[in-house]
Amino acid sequence: MERKQNHGLTLRHQSRFKRIRENYELYLLILFPVAYFVIFKYWPMYGVQIAFKDFSASKGIWGSPWTGFENFQRFFESYNFWNIIGNTVYLSLLNLVIAFPIPILVAVMLNQLRQEKLKRFIQTTIYAPYFISTVVLVGMMFVFLSPSSGLVNIVIQLFGGKPILFMGESEWFRPLYILSTIWQETGFASVIYLAALAGIDPHLHEAAVVDGASKWQRIRHIDIPGIAPTIVVLFILAVGNLMNVGFEKAFLMQGDLNVDVSEIIPTYVYKIGIQRAQYSFSAAIGLFNAVINLVLLIMVNRAAKKISGNGLF
């Protein structure tokens, strides 16, 4: 009995070894990307421990003394903690509530167009801004919204209004952030929904037409349920990224006048960490952000699984 087992074990080992030896070239290939990931992805994860240390460059990551949660405590107690958290959460929630559904709406409407050429033209047009860089996007906002020469203010003045300092006034930061996101990303985001819509069985629509269903009824009862799984997956991903509102745009749109609403965790980490070289403190803020994100992702994934049966993992 024992013998047999041993025999089986060695055979399996042999075949394993053989399988590795046969494909040794593939292991050599994958060695390079693995090394890349170890250095550029895993090493920074190891470096996260400086959030719990008093890092000094001369002592290195390993040699710097532990401080426990001191850096986190300092952040929680800092005078602008609630302001920064509030700005981050508010901006991303606005983004989620307003910018997330619009690509779905656009995709469903586009899907109703019968003329293929027109459909393709609109799709191509609205996709284009995705290839414009954030610097150019924010630059365009400055140009269009300039109080002296911007088109928007010229129009406002034509109608007898007073020019508005859009890029300076705090109350305009959030609307402009969201609107520019919609402008830039709707076309790109609608691609996935269009693909999902194209995957719906056309027989369903034919049957519904025979039964006298209107376009609106078909959207409600066929299209929307048909793409619901895709919506759920993308929604989970969006919530999982809730705290990762883009550094680039907020940073570029930020000025002295709107800093009270535009200071979000990533811009704050940049200022404290890179500009003022307080590495441990800003690493702690970054880690705090990442942990909230991960918890959100897990929570919403679990909720989505319970409600709709669809989850990411």
Asked if 273 interacts with other proteins (CB under 8 A), we say: yes
- How far apart CA 26 and CA 30 sit, in angstroms, is 6
Helix, strand, coil tally for the chain in percent (to 5): 80, 0, 20
Residue 160: left if φ>0, alpha if ψ -120 to 50, beta else—which one? left
Site residues for other proteins, 106-165, by CB under 8 A, read 106, 109-110, 112-113, 122, 124-136, 138-140, 142-144, 146, 148-149, 151, 154-155, 157-158
Residues 6+ apart with CB under 8 A from 68: 52
Find the helix packing angle between 170-198 and 101-111, rounded to 10°. 40
Site residues for other proteins, 167-226, by CB under 8 A, read 183, 186-188, 191-192, 195-196, 205-206, 209-210, 212, 214-216
Binding window for other proteins (CB under 8 A); candidates: 2-10, 68-76, 288-296, 301-309:
288-296
Asked if 33 interacts with other proteins (CB under 8 A), we say: yes
**Whether 66 contacts 55, CB under 8 Å:** no
Site residues for other proteins, 221-250, by CB under 8 A, read 230, 233-234, 247-248
The smaller minimum CB distance to other proteins, of residues 87 and 190, is found at: 190
Q: Which of 3, 4, 19, 162 binds other proteins (CB under 8 A)?
A: 19
Site residues for other proteins, 66-105, by CB under 8 A, read none
Asked if 9 interacts with other proteins (CB under 8 A), we say: no
Q: Write out the DSSP string of 92-108.
A: HHHIIIIITHHHHHHHH
Q: Which of 261, 286, 300, 301 binds other proteins (CB under 8 A)?
A: 286
Judged by CB under 8 A, the number of residues near other proteins is 98
Asked if 39 interacts with other proteins (CB under 8 A), we say: yes
Q: Write out the DSSP string of 103-172.
A: HHHHHHHHHT---HHHHHHHHHHHHGGGGS-HHHHHHHHHHHH-TTT-HHHHHHHHTT-----TTT-HHH
- How far apart CA 91 and CA 218 sit, in angstroms, is 34
The smaller minimum CB distance to other proteins, of residues 1 and 57, is found at: 57
CA-nearest of 98, 82, 233, 270 to 178 is 98
From the CB of 177, what's the least distance to other proteins, in Å? 15
The smaller minimum CB distance to other proteins, of residues 1 and 198, is found at: 198
Binding window for other proteins (CB under 8 A); candidates: 35-43, 67-75, 93-101, 302-310:
35-43
